[in-house]
A and B are shown apart, each in its own frame.
Chain A
Amino acid sequence: MGTFAQLGNDLYTGKRSIDIIGRRKTWYLIAVILIAISIIGPFLRGGFVFGIEFTGGSQFQVSKVENRDESIATNAVASVVPGQTPRVLLVGTDSLWVQTEQLTDEETAQVKTALAKGFDVPEEAITSSFIGASWGQDITRQAIIALIVFILFAAVVMTLYFRTWKMSVAAIISLFHDLIITAGIYGITGFEITPAAMIGFLTILGYSLYDTVVVFDKIRENTVKGELNEVRTFAESVNLAVNQTLVRSVNTSIVALLPIGSILFIGAFVLGAGTLRDISLALFIGVLLGAYSTIFVAAPVYAHIRSGEPQIIKHDEKVRARREAQKALETEEDSETSSGAIKA
């Protein structure tokens, strides 16, 4: 802890400082490349893989199976509906799911019997479901409506809270950054998009902005009138705020990722396919991205869009003029001033 807390101290006082705002072109470049890959990648791979909830179809859940041989399922389905190749998913330690195109009631009953015979389980151990294709469309439509409404509301709330729309814009740019890249990762890797994954995406909305608000609150504090002094330029004040909240950002991300990681682990390795895995995967990616983008996208963008304001330009000029005057000290940044003070 000592070293981490020490780092926290140094970042707080400005003794050590990571120049984030100054290197904004680097971060922009990275963001643009990532977003480009996220948009082009899925197309190269062949589009997104949608779960049965979006494509529609029938699903059989077979539990308490000893021999989970996929070919048994394939044969059972083929014996009823020739030419159908089902998708077989292993779930948990003793279950498997068999997904087919939508079957008639009669076919469903026959497949059930065939599966029960094939896997040597009683028919009660098999449950069947069917999902219409419009189910997924409905969810998607509602999700998109929710997304738009949320962004509008959040933009207004943040504008009122921070008393500048520029913070809203920066936060929402970073939000889109997170959403596009998360979707891109799904598209590129071929992870299945299920309603549970959609829930994960939507939560990223909240989390990404949540994280941004915490950091922006510090930025606001450092750049209000009276705080914005002649030692630092505006961009440097923003940078200091990001540095001061860096320890918190790291701690928060880790604390958020630990439980999500444990669901992901349990979901993926114990349960196999299913709600838990899908939610946690989207969240895991989203939280990582959310923390990253707050620091490397939202803050630089905010400093950038404010840099054109006459007041800021004037202020920055003043700071630079002051620095020119104290060239003797050869201090470009007050961070170094402070380290000097500590050595004294």
Chain B
Amino acid sequence: MAKSAPVKKAWRYLAWLLVVIVALVGLNALGVLRGEGSWTPKLALDLEGGTQIVLAPVLQDGEQVTSEQLAQAVSIIRQRVDASGVSESEITTQGNQNIVVSIPGTPDKATLQRIQASSQMQARPVLLASAAATAGTSATDASGNPISTETPAPGDSPDAPALSDTPTTAPTGPGDVAWITPALQDEFDKYTCSAGATGEPDPKKPLVVCDTSQTEKYILGPQEIAGSSITDAVAQQETTQTGATTGSWAVQITLDGEGTKKFTDLSKRLFGSQPPLNRFAFVLDGAVITAPSMNGLITDGRPSITGGFTQESAKALADQLKFGALPIGFEVQSNETVSATLGTSQLQSGLLAGLIGLILVVLYSLVQYRLLGLVTVASLVIAAIVTYLLITLMSWQQGYRLSLAGVAGLIVAIGITADSFIVYFERIRDELRDGRGIESAVQHGWKRALRTILASDGINFLAAAILFVLAVGNVRGFAFTLGLTTLVDVLVVVLFTHPILTLLASTKFYGEGHRFSGLDPRQLGAVYRGRAQFKAPAQDAKGKQAKSSREAARRQTIAERKAAAQAEAGNTADNVSAKSRKES
């Protein structure tokens, strides 16, 4: 027997569902094989135990934190936390201004201090530079780029000539080597880059410091230009004087008015000086991020740093220069610790609650929809599998962590997901009441139910998306699972529930509307013909005859069935017309 079009389509949809599930499993397996993923989702602190610190920026009135500043602050704080030896920390933004640091265990006071300190970027002149004791001698600039024309070649940054006897006359400016006292020289000689940063350097004093790659150490003069003078820094392709691009990358800096003036002075002094005195360094978080040499007189406040950049490395340096400073101080807004045992008991209780809820929903569906309820159960199971895989995948790919609020979102979603099936089943029943055959009722009911499901899920998803974008903290975890399950709901209803019902409608049990199928037209009183007119109740008027004709109808083609339905309508038309005569 040739399969009908809806049945073929149903199989195709089910195949797609299989493809989706297999793809999700496959992706996840890939993650596990590569040692990055796992078969279980990562848990948030409230379930796993640990400390969560919320940092809020200290702002003056009317000040705003831009999202770029915040993102940069996150990466700076991440570096700081990592530097303090805490592993598996997680730093995220919250709302539009807070930073959340999640650390397993309890951090000590020093770590806390380190995390929240603010920092300024400073441009300082180089007084002395040498290869760091702990590193090789290969010359790279501070951001790790090999240096070509504008920064000193290996030979240009030799160990400084002996300066230990330099008298301690008052230095005339930041670039004066008179800053180098014997004591400072001594500190410099003993300095190893592994010592790490020591707080925020005083901008008025000289500084002994390494670059971020720990390959070179410097004595720097006091600050000449504050990092806040940099209004912009972009990575762009170098151009020749005729405007043609050379293909190599440069970082173009733009300074504000005051910065331009200072840089012009700096440029005049440095240009043509002996190395390393022709260099200046950008210092951030106690390390030199770059220390280029002055290769020309720059008076327009638009210096550019060149030399062996790739597009990525130029962009990285530009971002560091632009947002590198953490000009905003942060204060600890909350510091919550959850013990691992409490987390575990919360998770267990949450799962238990979910299980109880699911069982109750299953029982209720079976009572309400008889064996049709099994479709609900199967759909919920499929939805659960897809959701679980997605969350696991997300926690690998996006670092998503399931929190207790997220678990609550999932449990609440059971109800909303099941509602789609209820809407659909009720539609099918409506169509049956309208007097359609079961197979056509499934198809017609589907068309109308899908609209409703999409509209209502759309509103739900909108709520979840807005909460996710705008809300903070726990609310996001909740909104995430709610939004995710809404999407899964649509997927399952389209690719599973409807195809399965289509297939079931072609079986004897459901197609004939068995008493326990939940689709029994007799029980549903299929008496309703058209939407405003009524035909005589089939079960009263015909009884047995109706049953046998239904059996016959099942064996007919669609066209035959339609014809038969029309004929049947004709039979009852007497009733209708009699009624309408009475009415009019």
Contacts and interface: CB of A to CB of B under 8 A. Distances in A.
Given A63-B342, A195-B475, A209-B463, A161 B361 contact: no
Contact of B474 (A91, A275, A283, A337): A275
A174 interface: no
B339 A127 contact: yes
B365 to A, nearest CB: 7
B349 A259 contact: no
Interface in A52-108: 53, 59, 61, 63-64, 91-92, 95, 105
Contacts of A95: 342
A276 B451 contact: no
B452 A203 contact: no
Given A257-B415, A275-B405, A326-B584, A248 B525 contact: no
B466 A131 contact: no
Given A61-B342, A255-B415, A143 B583 contact: no
B356 interface: yes
Contact of A4 (B46, B368, B584): B368
B364 to A, nearest CB: 6
Interface residues of A, number: 99
Contact of A203 (B334, B478, B537): B478
B458 interface: yes
B316 interface: no
B466 A259 contact: no
A206 B459 contact: yes
A61 B336 CA distance: 10
Contacts of A164: none
Contact of A255 (B353, B365, B462): B365
B494 interface: no
B416 interface: yes
Interface string B530-545: 0110101100100000
Interface residues of B, number: 91
Nearest to A9: B525
Interface stretch (B70-78, B248-256, B419-427): B419-427
Given A202-B471, A279-B405, A344 B463 contact: no
A259 B412 contact: yes
Contacts of A258: 357, 360-361, 364, 415
A99 B49 CA distance: 19
Interface string B462-476: 111011001111110
A132 B333 contact: yes
A329 B415 contact: no
A23 B335 CA distance: 54
Nearest to B466: A150
Nearest to A206: B463
A341 B475 CA distance: 54
B419 A132 contact: no
Contacts of B473: 139, 195
Interface string A241-264: 000110110011011111111110
A199 B369 CA distance: 32
A36 interface: no
A130 B291 CA distance: 43
A61 B345 contact: no
Nearest to B540: A342
A205 interface: yes
Given A1-B367, A9-B525, A341-B575, A154 B462 contact: yes
Contacts of A8: 426, 429, 524
Interface stretch (A25-33, A43-51, A265-273, A309-317): A265-273
A113 interface: no
B226 interface: no
A202 B471 CA distance: 10
Contact of B422 (A127, A227, A248): A248
Interface in A1-46: 1-2, 4-6, 8-9, 12-13
B230 interface: no
B463 A205 contact: yes
Contacts of A192: none
Contacts of B358: 259
A270 B348 CA distance: 11
A142 interface: yes
A267 B466 contact: no
B257 interface: no
Contact of A199 (B332, B339, B478): B478
Given A92-B342, A142-B472, A274-B346, 11 more contacts: A12-B528, A138-B333, A139-B471, A142-B471, A146-B471, A203-B463, A259-B354, A262-B356, A262-B357, A262-B411, A266-B356
9 contacts: A63-B339, A63-B342, A91-B342, A135-B54, A146-B470, A214-B419, A252-B419, A276-B408, A344-B575
For the complex of A and B, list the 5 residue pairs with the smallest distance between their C-beta atoms, beginning with the closest. A259-B357, A256-B415, A206-B463, A129-B336, A127-B337
